[in-house]
Amino acid sequence: MHTVVETAAYLSAAKSAGLSDEDRRAVVDLLAAEPESGDLMQGTGGCRKLRIAGRGKGKSGGYRLITAYVGRNYPVFLLTVFGKNEKSNLTRSERNELARLTDILAKTYRKHAPE
């Protein structure tokens, strides 16, 4: 089982998107068991987009989660979530920002990780 970190940005976005505590727990449980869930997003430094069903909507009308998982010795970072009706794809600028963020997360975690 992997550690899953719900970032402050993710928690804020999850609240705005209407994810329940039960939905969030299900996401954490899934990623703890399968950290490479979702589609790898090109140009993001290893971020993945995971589609999850919204209550009564199915995956096509549900949510998109963005995660960062850079390797076995790192946690899965939940970065943000949005409804499919809000946005289906990220802009190049957003992907570039995710690449920078993923690099910072990896370097910071590596620097402070127990040996």
Q: What is the CATH number of the domain that holds 23?
A: 3.30.2310
Domain span at residue 91? Answer: 4-112
What pLDDT, in 10s, does the model give residues 11-68?
999 999 888 899 899 999 999 999 999 999 999 999 999 998 876 555 556 889 999 9
Taking the C-alpha atoms of residue 59 and residue 27, their distance in angstroms, rounded to an integer, is 14
H helix or E strand, kind and range, residue 39:
strand 39-40
In total, how many domains does the chain have?
1
Q: Is 69 exposed, middle or buried (0-12, 13-18, 19+ CB in 10 A)?
A: buried
Model pLDDT for residues 90-114, shown as the tens digit of each residue: 889 999 999 999 999 888 877 666 5
Answer yes or no: are the C-beta atoms of 80 and 97 closer than 8 Å: no
Give the predicted TM-score (pTM) of the model: 0.85
